[in-house]
Amino acid sequence: MADVTPAPIRLDDLARPVWGPDARAIRDAMAALAPECPLDADRLHARAVAETGLTDFGAEGYRERLTVFLAAIREIDGLDDAGIVNFHTQIVQWLKNRLLLTDLLARHPEIHDITLAPPVVIAGLPRSGTTHLHNLLAASGAFRTLPYWESNEPVLAAAEAGLSPDPRQARMRATTAVVDLLMPHFPLMHEMTFDHAHEEIQLLANDFSTMLFETLGHVPRWRDYYLQHDQTSAYEYLATQLKVLQFLRGGRRWLLKSPQHLEQLPVLNRVFPGLTVVVTHRDPVPVAVSMIAMIAYSARMHRAPVAVDEIAAYWVARLRLMLDALVRDRASIAADRSIDITFDDFLADETGWLRRVVEVAGEELTEGQMRSVEEYLEGHRRGRLGRVETSAAQFGLSEDRLRAEFGAYVRRFLA
């Protein structure tokens, strides 16, 4: 029987979200908790301490960054009570992660002596094939990857250590189930499961210095602060966390991936000497439109109404900054340790490009590993869940003006 492609979905409630009864009930329950979930640094720290019994958050530099982020959140127009609870919960988790990481490192200082093999790093805009390539390489089993549940809680509290099954998995299953109910069309744009290979940008959040914050809310104050500061110390904290994770659950060589890395190539090169970088490329016009749709759709989790035009203008400008940084810094990674892949070429020969990436990284895939890749491909065909229909005009944008906006990048990599 032939596969039936689902009809495309058009998001016609981006500005004023429409909630089903079950989703509304969840949001109402969250909103009721808002008085107990202030976006206040002292209260957030106190809750993290109370939930872990620990008091040492590690190096103090993160506190200034947290203060800036909290101020930026409070400036979001239309921030609602459910959104306040959402942000509060995430920040408490990041603070708990710091406490648990610091405690583990104090008990096992030998973790610092672990030597990380040079990682393989995928850098590219969202919607440019980064996730698909990441998933293929992860499916091979040749690299250490970060499942979503582990990225959210890298270190278990002592009271839960050794439990089977790992309680972090159950918590992430529950979280993704709620998110799927609140945002049923999000998987069509970016599928999220409790155990998929996730971005280490979640680990960078534990040091409160990451572009992730910009995707969680409209926070221009944070963007300006972030761009004014060198990110070397944040990536060094990331490297420490990777050592921690190897200590806890093993691993030989890390596979990393994030759009953030596009504007941090020199930092990556300093912190992870000898790394291999894979840069994915795609026409930035559909990339920008798709990302704007994803950000505008997910904004319903914390604000109403959603300022769609504001989000569109922000991300056009932000993507240009990222791409201009890539044009400037691409040569900082040696040619023999890097490869550029265009989206269309990749889709035309997925396993062929996979082999090239592995070769550049100085690795080889066994027949069994390639069979695992093929099995993954068979079960994860592009568009199997359907797709969201978007257009530049939907966001008041012109394709010609967008193309001009990203001209330097297009001329450098796609001409």
Q: Which of 72, 80, 90, 100 minimizes the C-alpha distance to 32? A: 80
Q: What is the pLDDT of residues 43-80, one digit of tens each?
A: 999 999 999 999 999 999 999 999 999 999 999 999 99
Query: Residue 162's pLDDT is what?
Result: 85
Query: DSSP secondary-structure letter at 272?
Result: S
Query: Residue 383's pLDDT is what?
Result: 73
Q: What is the dihedral of CA 222, 190, 400, 265, to 10 degrees?
A: 50
Residue 174 within any structural domain of the chain: yes
Q: Which of 373, 320, 341 minimizes the C-alpha distance to 276? A: 341
CATH for 133: 3.40.50.300
Mutual angle of helices 367-379 and 350-360, in 10-degree steps: 140
The residue-averaged pLDDT of 85-101 equals: 98
H helices of 33-80, in order, are 41-52, 62-74
> Band of the pLDDT at 182, cuts 50, 70, 90?
very high
Residue 5 within any structural domain of the chain: no
Residue 384 has pLDDT above 80, yes or no: no
Of 141-150, 161-170, 267-276, minimum mean pLDDT range: 161-170
Residue 10 within any structural domain of the chain: no
Residue 321 has pLDDT above 80, yes or no: yes
Q: Which of 25, 391, 33, 388 minimizes the C-alpha distance to 190? A: 388
- Structural domain boundaries enclosing 161: 21-414
- Give backbone dihedrals phi and psi of 256, rounded to 5 degrees, phi first: -115, 160
Residue 19 has pLDDT above 80, yes or no: yes
Residue 2 within any structural domain of the chain: no
Cβ proximity of 183 and 306 under 8 Å: no
Query: Residue 4's pLDDT is what?
Result: 62
CA–CA separation, 238 and 244 (whole Å): 10
H helices of 108-231, in order, are 130-140, 148-152, 167-182, 186-189, 201-204, 212-216, 220-227
Q: Which of 119, 353, 155, 58 minimizes the C-alpha distance to 258? A: 119
Residue 337 has pLDDT above 60, yes or no: yes
Cα R_g (the chain), whole angstroms: 21
The residue-averaged pLDDT of 2-24 equals: 88
Residue 1 has pLDDT above 50, yes or no: no
User: What is the pLDDT of the chain when averaged over all its residues?
Assistant: 96
Q: What is the pLDDT of residues 198-256, one digit of tens each?
A: 999 999 999 999 999 999 999 999 999 999 999 999 999 999 999 999 999 999 999 99
Of 30-39, 99-108, 328-337, 384-393, minimum mean pLDDT range: 384-393
The residue-averaged pLDDT of 252-273 equals: 98
Query: Residue 22's pLDDT is what?
Result: 97
CA–CA separation, 247 and 108 (whole Å): 9
Residue 3 has pLDDT above 60, yes or no: no
Residue 11 within any structural domain of the chain: no
Residue 319 within any structural domain of the chain: yes
Number of domains in the chain: 1
Query: Residue 385's pLDDT is what?
Result: 79
CA–CA separation, 372 and 142 (whole Å): 10
